[in-house]
Amino acid sequence: IHNIMTQYLPRDVDSILKQIVNHVEYTLARTKYNFDEQHAYQATAYSVRDRLIESWNDTQQYFTEKDVKRVYYLSMEFLMGRYLNNALLNLGIESQYQGALKKLGFDLDEVEHQERDPGLGNGGLGRLAACFMDSLATINYPAWGYGIRYKYGMFEQRISKEGYQIEIPDYWLTAGNPWEIERLDVKYPVRFYGEIKHNGKHYEWQGGEVVTAIAYDSPIPGYDTYNTLNLRLWSATPASEFDLDSFSRGDYYSAVASKEAAEKISSVLYPNDATEAGKELRLKQQHFFVSATLQDVVRRFKKKDRPLTELHTKVAIQLNDTHPTIGIAELMRIFMDHESMGWSAAWATTTKVFSYTNHTVLPEALERWSVDLVEKLLPRHMQIIYEINRRHLEEVVKKYPGDGDKLMRMSIIEEGFPKMVRMAVLAVVGSHHVNGVAAIHSGLVKSRLFPDFYKEQPDKFLNMTNGVTPRRWMQSANPALSEVISRWLETDEWVSNYELCRGLEQFVDSADMQREFREAKRTNKKRVAERIKKEFGVEVSTDAMFDIQVKRIHEYKRQLMNVLSIICRYNAIKRMTPAEKEECVPRVCIIGGKAAAGYVIAKHIIRLINGVSKVVNNDKDVGDLLKVFFMTNYNVTLAEDIIPANDISQHISTAGMEASGTSNMKFVMNGGLIIGTMDGANIEIREEIGNDNMFIFGLLEEEIDRARNELKYGGYQHTDSRLQEAMKQIEANKYCGKDVSEPLLKNLQPYNDYYLVTRDFSSYMDAQARVDEEYKNQTSWVKKTITSVARMGKFSSDRTIREYGEQIWNLEATPFVPSS
Ligand code: 26Q
């Protein structure tokens, strides 16, 4: 292993050991003879951080010196996962740390497990931001991430003994966070409420409430590069000025209370991955982090003396969904009210700075804020949005005089009671590019979401198919398989150049390689089997097929269809003769994922899964042939553990509803096959790895509307007797009480089956039968997985980020090469 970083770092185990012990003594203030695994973790983390700080400072200074264009990735969520192992691998010093800790009597693996998983995101969108940071650093792009330092991340999920989800607050900072640097000197005021005055020259926003945003920075190392990027998360604190009003009234307690309120803004991540309608605090969070970020970006640009109209030559800002879209109005406000720019110049520059990534076409998930709320909370922004809209609609009227419908459709303001601001329309109008996250999704963004805008500016709309970082999702999560790949390719460079894995295909017929792939898989399955034994007290065989569906619980993702098919499998096994059982492929079904706290149906689905699990796992007739587990608290760390153990994974959303999916990519890269619909990135995965290496089923996107109408208006009713039997059992409350079974069954009635579970069911069962059949031939199965791993290069986030860099941000790779 050669890694450029090792030449700049102390390589020998003893100096690393010394640094760790030093931190035990002087940072943690413990005696070096008495510290536990948690202290070992803390000290190790600090010593790695020390290494990163140098490269981090050098990198930032270099970018400034070279005056390069930077991209700022604005995201309400960064689902980073644990830092320690990622940093060690990216720096190429894992084995040295292993040695040092061993000398101290610790096992690196166990020490790494001491780290809390920072869950500052909901799911796909937040994890994508994290993969992007890793690729940006690795490619040497000048980039910063900007977001919120929530005190409480994604809730911890537990399951009650009756099988219901329970949410526990995630105060992830209890043991401190060695990966962040608090920068008390980097702070900005952010205003809310108040009123607008005109001072004869420009508008001024006064009064209201002011909070202070404080920066917390974390270094983001790239793989095999000295470059180290910055992730800056903002925390809200009370503004330093006195609340003179309450103070002079002698009302000391309310003065203090009003200060306390400030911290609420960055206190908790909203655990919804679909819109939580109109929550004022959520809009506050958005403006809070966006305003602090833009002040920071403008300040950095202004360090060099030049006009702000050139901002776009040095700054690109990517909006991760509509969540930071208020930034378009905020930058206009800064330009006009603080920097005395006229409207035209301000708008011309603003629209050259922003670009917007859409992550959903589901209408109910598109962010809208009531005009009343925006007016109250951000009065100046509301004025600016109205003016943006007035000018924008003026253009539309000019081109389509008399077309009132078109005007309504294209307006940033939705006329109604109450009037709403459509954040997605504001994002489209204020951006130079708009992208979807997989080919099918980008098509729908053009045809369904913004057809009128696409017609006017077709080149504004792009596809940027998502990707995932092979560093975390292969090298770090799956050392067993990574070692096999590196040995056959005779290099580990595939870790930052995935296309090299194509070279594996030439060995697909080698019995040795097949055996090694299968051995790596068994290693990973064994680990998960042990976890299951520990958590559920159930023994599972590593010969069984490990079938995994882990993702947020959502009706469109159709976990319900998965459980229904598991019930059918259970019923089939119950009817089998001993001879048939001999032929039956044993399965371990693993389902995991969190339901938003207020999403009642999603919570019912979890309850049903737990009910089925209990019945099936305790049925003596079934034995090893079927086991069902709901894995609690699915998060990045759990994903790293179980994804490498998959034989097959399920990505079975109703066609057209999953924008991309990214775990589908991770599962295949880890040597599993997919059962899935023609949706999101599944379609492109199929294009790359071949139809024979996937189990595709179900209606196509273009068939959905018609099928839904047929269901709704009585033209179609399923006749699958297996499904009928399963539904009867649920109705008889075999798996759960009627509080759960009734609403779930109601949603499966033809006129209510919006997600087409009953319509796709037979096709799904057929695909499952093909899966069973193919698994019987282990040689052909492993060959499919080898071919798939070899062909997944497109789905490295390095490819994705290069496309953003070239087609949207116009960035240059800028590697810093230290002289010493
Ligand atoms: C919005 C308003 C109020 C409260 C919460 C939200 C909110 C928060 C998170 C809305 C959406 C999200 C997250 C969405 C998400 O994760 N989308 C997923 O993004 C992935 C990366 O592009 C895709 O692969 C998935 O298909 C998509 O579902």
Whether 594 shows a pLDDT value over 90: the answer reads yes
* CA–centroid distance, residue 74 to ligand 1 (Å): 14
Residue 681 CA, closest ligand 1 atom number: 24
* CA–centroid distance, residue 78 to ligand 1 (Å): 12
Whether 389 shows a pLDDT value over 80: the answer reads yes
Q: At what angle do helices 738-746 and 721-731 cross, to 10 degrees?
A: 140
Rounded (to 5) percent helix, strand, coil in the chain: 55, 15, 30
Task: Output the residue whose Cα is nearest ligand 1's atom 2.
Answer: 275
**What pLDDT sits at residue 259?**
78
Predicted confidence band of residue 249 (pLDDT cuts 50, 70, 90): confident
Task: Output the residue whose Cα is nearest ligand 1's atom 25.
Answer: 661
Half-sphere exposure of 291 (CA within 13 A, CB side): 23
Task: Let me know if 662 is a catalytic residue.
Answer: yes
Q: What are the extents of the domains in the chain? A: 1-66+87-116, 68-81+118-366+804-809, 470-795
Output the pTM of the full model. 0.97
Average pLDDT, integer, range 141-150: 98
Residue 659 CA, closest ligand 1 atom number: 26
Sign of CA dihedral 617, 721, 739, 278: positive
Task: Let me know if 776 is a catalytic residue.
Answer: no
State pLDDT tens for residues 18-57: 999 999 999 999 988 788 999 999 999 999 999 999 999 9
* Complex ipTM value: 0.98
**What pLDDT sits at residue 240?**
67
Same fold, 68-81+118-366+804-809 and 470-795: yes
Q: Which of 552, 594, 759, 784 is catalytic?
A: 552
Q: What percent of the chain has pLDDT over 90?
A: 93
Reduce the DSSP state of residue 651 to 3 states and report it.
strand
* CA–centroid distance, residue 750 to ligand 1 (Å): 28
Whether 261 shows a pLDDT value over 90: the answer reads no
Average pLDDT, integer, range 107-120: 98
Q: Say if strands 152-159 and 165-171 run parallel, antiparallel, or are unpaired.
A: antiparallel
Task: Output the residue whose Cα is nearest ligand 1's atom 17.
Answer: 125
H-run or E-run covering 206: strand 203-206
**What pLDDT sits at residue 277?**
79
Task: Let me know if 552 is a catalytic residue.
Answer: yes
Whether 689 shows a pLDDT value over 80: the answer reads yes
Considering only the top CATH level, what class is 470-795?
alpha beta
Task: Output the residue whose Cα is nearest ligand 1's atom 8.
Answer: 273
The token duo for 737 is 């009480």
The finding on whether 662 has its CB within 6 A of some atom of ligand 1 is yes
Residue 466 CA, closest ligand 1 atom number: 22
Residue with tokens 């049925």: 619
Task: Let me know if 557 is a catalytic residue.
Answer: yes
Task: Let me know if 212 is a catalytic residue.
Answer: no
Pick from 543, 435, 470, 507: which is nearest to 776 by CA? 543
Domain 68-81+118-366+804-809 matching CATH 3.40.50.2000: the answer reads yes
State pLDDT tens for residues 98-108: 999 999 999 99
Longest dimension (CA), the chain: 91
* CA–centroid distance, residue 124 to ligand 1 (Å): 6
Task: Output the residue whose Cα is nearest ligand 1's atom 11.
Answer: 273
**What pLDDT sits at residue 715?**
76
State pLDDT tens for residues 287-307: 999 999 999 999 999 999 999
**DSSP string for residues in 675-691:** EE-S-TTHHHHHHHH-G
